[in-house]
């Protein structure tokens, strides 16, 4: 049985961000959109594992950058 199909029109700048995100995470635009919809609709169990890992890696990178800034900041500024 074929999966239902959804066709949408999006602004070019969002399409560029979508392509970049998919390429960066080694996934497809379809998987990124499916993951975003699943998260938005509170169906997290339907998010592909690859996308879950990509989100965790992005969050970890932000935390590591924040930790690095805090560690390099002089004690008086902390």
Per-residue pLDDT for 9 more than 90? yes
How many C-beta neighbours within 10 Å does residue 38 have?
16
pLDDT in tens, 17-71: 999 998 988 889 998 898 888 888 888 777 777 777 877 888 898 899 888 887 7
Residue 63 lies in a domain: yes
Whole-model pTM over 0.75: no
Residues 6+ apart with CB under 8 A from 45: 38
Residue 62 lies in a domain: yes
Query: For the chain, how many structural domains are there in total?
Result: 1
Residue 64 lies in a domain: yes
Which structure tokens are listed for 51? 């996308």
| Domain of residue 48, residue span | 12-77
Phi and psi, residue 47, nearest 5°: -75, 125
Q: How confident is the model at residue 1 (pLDDT cuts 50, 70, 90)?
A: confident
């Amino acid at each position: 049985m074929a999966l239902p199909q959804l066709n949408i029109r999006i602004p070019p700048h969002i399409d560029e961000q979508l392509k970049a995100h998919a390429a960066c995470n080694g996934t497809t635009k379809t998987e990124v959109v499916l993951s975003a919809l699943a998260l938005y609709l509170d169906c997290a169990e339907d998010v592909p594992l690859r996308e879950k890992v990509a989100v965790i890696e992005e969050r970890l990178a932000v935390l590591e950058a924040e930790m690095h800034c805090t560690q390099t900041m002089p004690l008086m500024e902390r």
